Amino acid sequence: MASNKPNKLAFLSMPAPASYVAGLGRGASGFTTRSDIGPAREGPSAETIAEAQARRGEEPEIDSEQFQDPDNEYGLFAGTTYEADDEEADKIYEAVDRNMDARRRARREAHENDELAKYRAERPKIQQQFADLKRGLAVITDEEWESIPDVGNLTRKKRRKDERLFVVSDSILVGDRAQTEYESSLDIKQQQDGFVTSADAGAMTNFVEIGQARDKILSLKLDQISGTSSVSGSATSVDPKGYLTSLNSVVLKSEAEIGDIKRARMLFDSLVKSNPKHAPGWIAAACLEEHAGRMVAARKLIKAGCEHCPKSEDVWLEAARLHNQDDAKVILANAVQHVGQSVKVWLAAADLEQDVQAKKRVLRKALEHIPNSVRLWKETVNLETSPADARILLSRAVEVIPLSVELWLALARLETPDRAKTVLNKARKSVPTSHDIWIAAGRLLEQVATADPEKSSEARNKELEPVDRTIEAGVRELRRHRVLLTREQWLKEAEKCESEGSPRTCEAIVKATISMEIEEEDRLDTWVGDAESAESRGKVGTARAILAYALKVFPDKRHLWRRAADLEKAYGDRESLDAILSQAVHYCPQAEVLWLMAAKEKWLAGNVSAAREVLERAFVANPESEQIWLAAVKLEAENGELGVARELLVRARTVADTERIWMKSAVFERQQGQYAAALETVSTALSRFPKFAKLYMIQGQIHQLQKNFAAARASYAAGIKACPKDVTLWVLASRLEELDGKSIKARALLEKARLLNPANETLWAESVGVEERAGGAGQAKTMLARGMQECPTSGLLWSMAIWAEPRPARKSRSVDALKKSKDNALVTCTVARLFWAERKIEKARDWFARSVATEQDKDIGDHWGWWFKFERQHGTPEHVAEVIKRCVAAEPHHGPVWQSMAKDDKNVGKGTKEILELVAGALQ
């Protein structure tokens, strides 16, 4: 039966193609075997090879060196000269390359950073993967740690063979022991003969006699020191008390220091020999010898320096310093003969005198030689005890030195007010470029005007008016004489006047110079900044003067009046604050805040009728202002006028008709126990303002007080439907279900609230609280972890996470919380409580202060409650009083416990201090 399969080896009997080359597919281009020896055939041409490669789809190989110079293997143009045009061309190509690279660099780098971040997120480091497990090691007990099994060798590698040990012979051990041992006993011969040298040695040592001789010599030395023994007719004694002191004063120098001193001595010796007229060389050489303790050599050197440099005052002063007082007087007497114009020499000579009269003689002798020295005149005047003598000296001084402003001002201070004016006028003519003289004139006028305390304020103000004119004239005259002080320099002078007790002169300087060097559009911001900086430095008078001038220029700026009022409230008295607020409401009658501040200050002062008058004037200026209406209601309610307060609320609902007024009306009725009227008011208000969430809250809370849970649930449900974004409504509804024993429904409500209000820390915190109160600690921890994933920077959740950790791990958890929440006030207060638990009182106090540092943090009342509770337990009465004072000034309004206490109907009318005490008692 014939087979139909094709023969695979049929090609062997076929003739080869015309272009066939054996081995061409393996890269051969023709080769010769032993059978081809003889007339070998020619191989295929390059064209044939290229056609064959093209048919096979291969790319022809390109020789990289086909264009190279055969005689130069480094390049065709390597031997040419590199000229300027070549350099220019290279720079152009480099610039093109840089531009091309920079075109999409930002996008490329951003893409690379994103890819790297994505890569890190998908493939985190081993250290990051095990970070939480490493933190967990902190809670492992010692028993658990010891129970961890040892790691075995599972690598199947050949183990290292144990080293072979050999036994050491006894002779080696005994010999080694004998090298370090010492004998502690005597042999028999030593016990019988003692330590006696043999007679053959010719000497015998007795240690007993040596010890006795040593004791005798020591006793003789001690007797000599104590003064009880005399040797060869002379007695030597020292002070026993000062003996140790003298030993402490002995300076022991090392060999290195001695070597340095020797080298320095050689250098200075060469210096003074090569240049004997160089005074600093002599001084340095003498100081070196003094440092080395060779005072005699130091004095010899400085004496030689005085001989070689008699015109150098420093050499004479150094010579006087190195000698005792009597010798120094002689030296300085010689010095004034050579350098009689040296003020330092004369002052040093005066300092050496102990008697005041002798000092005066020296200084007056000095003034004969140097009459134009201001320092000598000042020292001479300071020695005078009589103002009349000092006045005479200063009169002579200003005649000799008419350009000294200090002497003129000193003379003016010693004169009577009338004569002081004359002196200052002369000084102004002598030194027309001095601003100190004009300021002194202004201060003199202020001193005269305020000297009589019985003078009326009108008369005093009239006498203070020349102060402003004097400073203004001084600024004009200085400008005319080309003396231009900057604004900053004038403000520093104003602050100086304020610190020296001249507030009116300070105000005059500010008025005359505050507008200098400022563009018109920048005046307001610049002046506000100047006032703030002056206040930060404690210069309240300067800040007050700046704001007063700014208010004259901009009387209609509300924030300026508010800033001035805050300044007076912080540093001024009640009268100045009333004056500022009266002017403020006059110039800004539409500013409700200023009216309320004025009424509140009157009320706090106990003047209720004046507060009513202020509010009546505010009604005229702002008839539809809800804040003023509510302030009037609060004023009447706090003073027991409940009927008047109710009538005001009725009128306010008619005139202003705002949702907040309706809410306050309902709250007022609820505080008075009129639940029916409160519910009626709320129902009417809801018909007018159905989107106001607080009305639903009040309605639900009233039903809850009446134990009508169904109605309260309906109120909260209606509120949630109308205002689904209000978190407080969801929390109140959840707590109602918890109160009714339906934790499952409370949990469902909060879950729905989180869906409608994602990333809300309050809802997550309430959910954690529900789980904790339901007894599910594990579920609460899981819920907290989910909340922290959604709100990674929440201070409230981080605070709860810290307390959820076991005590050893809370510190590390608090460090993470501070980093993640960016020093949130809640976390800071939690850290303070941790320090409190560890009894680190000072640290806890510092962290409590940090928790209420900013204006936003001061509004959280719970922090003040924790701090007050801490100080009441560990602080002094002063600390407690300071916390109360700061809390009352801050007037906090927020915080879970603070709000629950402040809005409780039982605590109506209580002040900040009473609420603080209640909060401190409720915190746990």
Q: How confident is the model at residue 201 (pLDDT cuts 50, 70, 90)?
A: very low
Mean residue pLDDT across the chain: 82
pLDDT at 393: 84
pLDDT at 254: 61
Q: What is the DSSP letter of 14?
A: S
pLDDT at 789: 92
224-238, 292-306, 440-454, 656-670: least confident range? 224-238
pLDDT at 711: 92
Q: Please say whether the beta carbons of 588 and 558 come within 8 A.
A: yes
81-85, 96-100, 330-334, 576-580: least confident range? 81-85
Is the predicted pLDDT of residue 195 greater than 80, yes or no? Answer: no
pLDDT at 255: 63
Query: When comparing pLDDT for 219 and 808, which is higher?
Result: 808
CA angle 714, 720, 724 (to 5 degrees): 170
**What percent of the chain clears pLDDT 70, i.e. is strictly above it?**
84
- What confidence tens digit (pLDDT) does each residue in 760-770 have? 999 999 999 99
pLDDT at 631: 85
Q: Distance between CA atoms of 301 and 273, rounded to whole angstroms?
A: 12
Query: When comparing pLDDT for 267 and 157, which is higher?
Result: 267
Q: How confident is the model at residue 183 (pLDDT cuts 50, 70, 90)?
A: low
pTM: 0.60
Tokens of 800: 């709860």
Q: Please say whether the beta carbons of 809 and 834 come within 8 A.
A: no
In order, the DSSP letters of 554-610 are: -TT-HHHHHHHHHHHHHHS-HHHHHHHHHHHHHH-TT-HHHHHHHHHHHHHTT-HHH
Most confident range, picked from 14-23, 133-142, 143-152, 610-619: 610-619
Residue 672, burial from CB neighbour count under 10 angstroms (0-12, 13-18, 19+) = middle
In single-letter form, the type of residue at position 131 comes to: A
Q: What are 860's strand-pairing partners? A: 894
Is the predicted pLDDT of residue 817 greater than 80, yes or no? Answer: yes
Of the candidates 767, 772, 833, 775, which has an alpha carbon nearest to the alpha carbon of residue 799? 833
- What confidence tens digit (pLDDT) does each residue in 44-98 have? 777 777 777 777 767 666 665 555 555 554 455 555 677 888 888 888 988 888 8
Tokens of 526: 């610049």
Q: What are 230's strand-pairing partners? A: 235
Alpha-helical regions (H) of 42-198: 46-55, 84-103, 105-122, 126-129, 131-136, 142-146, 170-180, 188-193
Cβ-proximal residues to 417 (8 Å cutoff; 6+ apart), any chain: 444, 447, 448
Calculate helix-pair angle for 503-513, 540-553, nearest 10 degrees. Answer: 40
Q: How confident is the model at residue 197 (pLDDT cuts 50, 70, 90)?
A: very low
All domains of the chain in start order, with CATH: 255-412 (1.25.40.10), 432-554 (no CATH), 823-923 (1.25.40)
- What confidence tens digit (pLDDT) does each residue in 423-472 have? 888 888 888 888 888 988 888 888 888 877 777 778 888 888 888 888 89
pLDDT at 5: 65
Q: Distance between CA atoms of 404 and 418, rounded to whole angstroms?
A: 21
